[in-house]
Structure 1
């Protein structure tokens, strides 16, 4: 829908769906015509990526808050990883896609790559992992950094472009964050599955 906006000197804004002027006075008006629908669509898409990413991260955090540290390290029979590994892995991949690949400053705590990179597993750990509480604090701080630093840069191109191990090519910030929605949701589902096995 195309709307015409009339911006009045005293800062009041009047809108008319027909494109007519709804201001009671025309002599001191400054007219600004914009395509509000187009602007709205852009904002909705940008907000969608941000809100979905923040939503799935905070859902995961809320889910694990009441799990004790020892339970987070249980590896169910037939699986390679535990709840703690999945959370730490979410942090590491988020740091890579949201910050490293976009040219932002990264924050990898000591030994996080050795503990939580793709292909790692707790049975190979020979160093003390962080506590569940420490990982949760990092996950909270990380999503706040994403929202603070990247929401105004969603359409910015990344250089060089990034090609994933599966052949998927990423060219801008929004695409990287879109992938993180999928990645976070996948590992959140794994965490819930492990929790259900432990509880039963």
Structure 2
């Protein structure tokens, strides 16, 4: 299996884990920010969806496939506002899988021909959409780890 194809497979597996957290965690816990944390489970899951779009689509000069309002609410540098409507949660549940599938299809069709170089906050420079796809797997793993830490803190405090 080609490396990039495998990156999409890993992303889908990670998204299944995040979706399970979204479906099985009570809403009050999704939105709670435990002491010592800056965000919550909900923010981390929505942030993963938005960041994938920014890294792959925006840096490639392509229109993102998620609403601008979601990007503004969950992109890097934002903080949770303590809310999540049923509509937002359902939209993110859909986008968890659809965004990976769209990116895989759009990559296969050659949509991403341009790319604006970007240095991520972990000091990794992305010079191509392939770099962005691989980096996104790392980024999503970080946020899955954050969700696990948040769940552990909530259980400890609850």
TM-score calculated relative to the size of structure 2? 0.81
State the match for 1:161 in structure 2: 117
Relative contact order, higher structure (CA 8 A, sep 6+): 2
CA RMSD of aligned residues (A): 2.5
Match of 2:69 in 1: 111
Residues 1:64 and 2:17 aligned together: no
67 and 172 in structure 1: CA distance in 2 versus 1, 3 angstrom threshold: same
In terms of fraction of residues, the more strand-rich structure is 1
TM-score (norm 1): 0.66
Following superposition, the deviation at residue 195 of structure 1 comes to: 1.2
Aligned match of 2:40: 82
Q: For the residues of structure 1 that align with 2:116 and 2:37, how far apart are their CA atoms?
A: 36
Q: Per the alignment, in what secondary structure is the counterpart of residue 77 of structure 2?
A: coil
Larger Rg: 1
The partner residue of 2:137 within 157, 181, 197 is: 181
Unaligned runs of 5+ in 2: none
Kept after mapping to 2: 8 A contact 1:102/1:173: yes
The correspondence for 2:90, drawn from 133, 143, 151, is 133
Q: How many pairs align? A: 154
Shift of 1:169: 2.4
- Larger helix proportion of the pair: 2
SS in 1 for 2:100: helix
